[in-house]
Amino acid sequence: MSRWDMAERDGGITDTEDEHKKDEDENHDYLQGFQLFAVVACTTLVFFLLMLDTSILTTAIPRITSDFHSLADVGWYGAAFQLVSAVLQPLTGKFYARLNTKWTFLVFFTIFEAGSLICGLANSSPMLIGGRAIAGLGAAGLQNGGLILIGGVVPLEKRPIYTGIMMGIGQMGIISGPLIGGALTEYTTWRWCFYINLPLGGIAGLFMAFSHIPDHIKKERVTFATLREMIPHLDLPGFVLFAGAAIMFLLALEWGGSTYAWNSANIIGLFSGAGVMAILFVAWEYHAGEEAMIPGSILKKRIVWTSCLYYFSLTTTLFVSSQYLPIYFQGVKGAGPTMSGVDLLPGILTQVLFVLVSGAAVTKMGYYLPWATFGAALTSIGCGLLSTLAPTTSTGKWVGYQMLSGAGRGSGLQMGMIAVQNAVPPSLLSVSMSILVLAQNFAASIFLAVSNAIFTVTLSSEIVKNAPSVSPAAALDAGGSAAGVRALVPGGGPELDGVLLSFSTGVDRCFDLLAGLAAVAVFISLGLGWKDTRSKKPVDKGQA
């Protein structure tokens, strides 16, 4: 009988698994002192670059869409990155489970850097989307790789605080991203939003290459023989089926209602094809058993699948809000790229603060469930308030609304990771982390496309009502920059107010979606399990 079939205790982990993890922890040579600092600093720097790449584009997107006349493509700038990351994500767990963690991590990082270079050189919207896809290919192995690296250098009870450090300091990239992106876009060119990754990436790569990083489990030395043996275990048929289903599904969401009508043969065909391939994928994975790309035995764990759903819901609020708040601040409020980055700081700073506070609190008190529930509830309230934004909303209100949603995300974001790390033995950490990050990337891919459809449809319908002389096509072609939006009504006038209200309403409907997702996460969080993550010290027999 598989250990996953044993009776569950404390929300999903058995006594046998506890002993197994305890033995592996005792026999593992964890790092200390400067070596530990070097590895954590290196991993955090890479995570910083990943977050920088995610956020630096937010204040540049309005200018990019105006330069390329491509507001209808705005969802793809994020979705292409997230889609490719999601498609490759399950395979990365297989790579990390069998290959040296450090060098596998560096290969993914090199691909990520190459994608950034292509984006910087892009001369069209399709080329930029292609570069984002290549960067996403590399990013597929970075976040879960960072979590696996942390798992190999510190014991289980210390992982919440070190995970919090990596995520908290790494998310400083989100803080600096909008500011740097806005300044580069306004005073040089948005292309430097991608070029900036190259020198910083070179430093991070060299730093990691010369650092000693122990693997979380013992692995065979990589040879051509081991690589040949690994290929049958990668579950390539499952990967092809999953990739086909995911790509067709995302294309249907992206094209539906904009490029093609929802009831057109193209969209119906894509949805049908995605459904058929999804069914074949599930059947194949069941047949493959423990060799499957996503082993069913892991997904049967309540803590694992609830953590994925929780992470799925909460991270969506981060990616979608970072896409549309800059459009509100620039297109509606008239801020420049740099100032719109400053306007995002209340939510970002609060989020980073609560990531660090919640990580330290879980390490000290041991329980992650209260933080998960509290974080989802606060995020839902914050996003609900952000859905009321209007052209006349005061500064105090949108600052407070962002702080509420930022505090909620910061409190809950890492709780799914901590729950999974405490629910599986080290030998299954790689695959488990890849499944968790898959949930994040797939959620971002789906809901960036969904929110793009919501924004586009809402803007088109609102323009017809509020500014009849402005065509919906012209509004979409204008981009999200302050100058582009105001150029729709030269000289201003009452119709300009209608245009601004239309853009604002489009952003509001996206936050309606996010408020609902975060509310669902409140109920999902209850399945994460009530478990004390602190190390259990043996009791002295005399005292007992």
Residue 93: give its domain's CATH number: 1.20.1250.20
Using CA atoms, how far residue 8 sits from 2, 137, 289, 436, 463, in Å, is: 13, 36, 21, 20, 55
Mean pLDDT of all residues in 218-238: 69
φ/ψ region of 320 (left if φ > 0, alpha if ψ in -120 to 50, else beta) reads alpha
Distance, in Å, from the CA atom of 529 to the CA atom of 544, rounded to the nearest integer, reads 29
**Same-domain pairing of 18 and 70:** yes
**Same-domain pairing of 92 and 193:** yes
In a domain, 444, yes or no: yes
Q: How confident is the model at residue 205 (pLDDT cuts 50, 70, 90)?
A: confident
Comparing 303 with 392, the larger pLDDT belongs to: 392
**Same-domain pairing of 118 and 181:** yes
Domain count within the chain? 2
**Same-domain pairing of 262 and 335:** no
Mean pLDDT of all residues in 238-254: 81
In a domain, 491, yes or no: yes
Which has the closest alpha carbon to 503: 516, 484, 517, 522?
Answer: 484
**Same-domain pairing of 264 and 340:** no
In a domain, 514, yes or no: yes
Domain extent for 255: 236-292
**Same-domain pairing of 459 and 507:** yes
In a domain, 216, yes or no: yes
**Same-domain pairing of 247 and 230:** no
pLDDT reported for residue 118: 92
Structural contact between residues 504 and 327, judged by C-beta atoms closer than 8 angstroms: no
CB atoms within 10 A of CB 447: 28
Mean pLDDT of all residues in 128-134: 89
In a domain, 192, yes or no: yes
**Same-domain pairing of 418 and 494:** yes
**Same-domain pairing of 104 and 135:** yes
Distance, in Å, from the CA atom of 479 to the CA atom of 471, rounded to the nearest integer, reads 14
**Same-domain pairing of 502 and 408:** yes
In a domain, 466, yes or no: yes
Residue 513 is given by DSSP the state: H
Hey, is 382 helix, strand or coil? helix
Question: Which contacts (CB < 8 Å, 24+ apart) does range 116-119 have?
Answer: 116/53, 116/194, 116/195, 116/197, 116/198, 116/201, 117/194, 117/195, 117/198, 119/191, 119/194
User: Cα 333 from chain centroid?
Assistant: 27
**In this predicted model, what pLDDT tens digit does every residue of 345-361 receive, in sequence order?**
898 889 888 888 887 88
**Same-domain pairing of 226 and 309:** yes
Amino acid at 255: W
**Same-domain pairing of 438 and 311:** yes
Assess whether pLDDT exceeds 50 at residue 1: no
Among 151-165, 279-293, 315-329, the range scoring the smallest mean pLDDT is 151-165
In a domain, 358, yes or no: yes
Q: In the chain, pLDDT over 70 holds for what percent of residues?
A: 84
